[in-house]
Amino acid sequence: MIIPILLVVIGFVFLIFGANWLVDGAAAVAKKYKVSDLAIGLTIVAFGTSAPELVVNSIGSVNGYSDIVLGNIIGSNNFNLFLILGISGLILPISVQSSTAWKEIPISLGVAILLLFLLNDFTFSTPSYLSRVDSLIMLVLFFLFLYYVFRQMKSEPTVEVEVVLKATYKIWGLILIGLALLIIGGQMVVVNSVEIAASLGVSEKIIGLTIVSAGTSLPELVTSVIAATKKNSDIAIGNVIGSNIFNILLILSISGLIMPIEYNPKFNLDLYILMGGTVFLLLAMLTGKRKRLDRWEASILLGFYLLYTTYLVMKEIQ
């Protein structure tokens, strides 16, 4: 038990350094090429911090661990939405661009609703599957989302004529090393946390919704918190919203293409919570100080997640 705990601690260290370097590198790319921080957060940072989910889900699909695969994605998205935005918003109220309030958050909500119906085969009959056709539909939608994000980016070329090649290498070096540390650290935390949890006799569904999802979402947590402390709200919220969209449309679709995923209807409650939380975030952006997640709203997100997690654990113990 001591070795897995030690490896989890080392994984946390990798995550902290990796996230710090990833944010610095991504922000430098945005500044250098005149790409918005939000676009970087929705793409490079979101993909990078979702890499652990991709690795874990690919392995889970190959081995037929449907509850781990689904629990990881649904749990990660709830972790991102409630805990990460809750903590980030408590550190610094998160102001967002109009496109985030009116477009990206609604897209995230629409994706969650689509997933609910695809998983339940539109009829809520059992057993249900995420088929390869369902997965292909989500993958096509993912590429449409990427197209939308890239259209949001500034198309004008940079006016800086003098480009220091060494600085360019340094920027991308920070991003690549940051991504590598995030993936390695995330894997170390997840694998060893699962080993610890499994030794305590916790079910596969709960492991997926809590330990695995929290472990694979640690990159998002550290990245968004560091971005918040650096007063970079666009990367903080772009990372969360982008990761939630990536998790469903890209990672879950790849998992379903590898192997059709049998669906446990008990996950419906967790999907309803995800949709409800997204609606709350949307309302928070459109009321009060508009286009801003205030500290009291962030505290509601965080408090609800703690109650939700307590409920899951207590239900498992009974």
Q: Which residue has the higher pLDDT, 99 or 306?
A: 306
- The Cα 87–Cα 297 span in angstroms is 11
Contacts of 94 (CB under 8 A, 6+ apart): 85, 88, 228, 233, 236, 237, 292, 293, 298
Is residue 140 within 8 Å of 273, Cβ to Cβ? no
Query: pLDDT per residue over 130-166, tens digit each?
Result: 999 999 999 999 999 888 877 776 543 443 433 334 4
Query: pLDDT per residue over 68-82, tens digit each?
Result: 889 989 999 999 999
Q: Which domains does the chain have, with CATH numbers?
A: 2-150+164-317 (1.20.1420.30)
- pLDDT averaged over every residue in the chain: 81
Write down the pTM of the prediction. Answer: 0.80
Query: pLDDT per residue over 21-67, tens digit each?
Result: 776 777 677 667 676 766 776 777 777 777 777 777 887 788 788 88
